[in-house]
Chain A
Amino acid sequence: AQSVTQLDSQVPVFEEAPVELRCNYSSSVSVYLFWYVQYPNQGLQLLLKYLSGSTLVKGINGFEAEFNKSQTSFHLRKPSVHISDTAEYFCAVRHQAGTALIFGKGTTLSVSS
């Protein structure tokens, strides 16, 4: 069975600072990895995904994530955050196409000026 652990429940940062949101997963098989963002009162929006190939993946809004198989991690990074990045971020895993996503508990990113 797969599981996802988001290591930080809340991450407060100042505007224009870099940020890293941490995600670790456990699985006995190869997985696909995803980050979603949820703004207040909205659904989940796909930020980026790792399916195969290059371990560094770039997504929307200047976010990127790096897949590290040996450490079973998929941390999300942004070099300079904006106030508008304030949201809930979810890491998720699925072990093959056609199966459901398993989510972490989420990380609240709060960006202040």
Chain B
Amino acid sequence: EAGVAQSPRYKIIEKRQSVAFWCNPISGHATLYWYQQILGQGPKLLIQFQNNGVVDDSQLPKDRFSAERLKGVDSTLKIQPAKLEDSAVYLCAWGSGNTIYFGEGSWLTVV
């Protein structure tokens, strides 16, 4: 399976600053997900896209998090302003048939 490219891989910011993560599916995938994985926990869905549209963003903290997927390809996830509890790995994933595959993740530390 072709994967996704995520950047940056690692980011350290101070609380109240902003940060953006980028995900580029290497080959086109209609369904794209952003998950948040806090240390010691399983990944939690933040948002699911189907092409350009949002399918599920019920667990996205919309007061500080935003995400978009332009032209049904690349996606960005933004956090503004960041809080200490946002320290986590942000995983981009794509659906292929019945299976979901994950990128390498972007590690965020908020200090």
Residues of B within 8 A of A94 (CB): 100
Residues of A within 8 A of B102 (CB): 36, 43-45
State A101–B102 Cα separation when bound (angstroms): 11
State whether the Cβ of B28 lies closer than 8 Å to any Cβ in chain A: no
State A101–B89 Cα separation when bound (angstroms): 16
Given the interface pairs A43-B105, A49-B99, A51-B98, the reply to whether A105 lies near B45 with Cβ below 8 Å is no
State A97–B30 Cα separation when bound (angstroms): 12
State whether the Cβ of B91 lies closer than 8 Å to any Cβ in chain A: yes
B103 near A97: Cβ-Cβ < 8 Å: no
Residues of B within 8 A of A98 (CB): 31, 50, 55, 95
Interface SS of chain B: helix, strand, loop or mixed?
strand
Interface size range of chain A in the complex? 20 to 34
Interface size range of chain B in the complex? 20 to 34
B48 near A43: Cβ-Cβ < 8 Å: no
State whether the Cβ of A46 lies closer than 8 Å to any Cβ in chain B: yes
B45 near A100: Cβ-Cβ < 8 Å: yes
Interface positions of B from 61 to 111, Cβ below 8 Å from A: 91, 93, 95, 97-105, 107
State whether the Cβ of A63 lies closer than 8 Å to any Cβ in chain B: no
State whether the Cβ of A54 lies closer than 8 Å to any Cβ in chain B: no
A44 near B43: Cβ-Cβ < 8 Å: yes
Q: What are some 25 contacts across the A-B interface (CB < 8 A)?
A: A4-B42, A32-B98, A34-B100, A36-B102, A42-B104, A42-B105, A43-B91, A43-B102, A43-B105, A51-B98, A90-B42, A92-B42, A97-B97, A98-B50, A98-B95, A100-B33, A100-B45, A100-B48, A101-B43, A102-B45, A103-B44, A104-B42, A105-B42, A106-B40, A106-B42
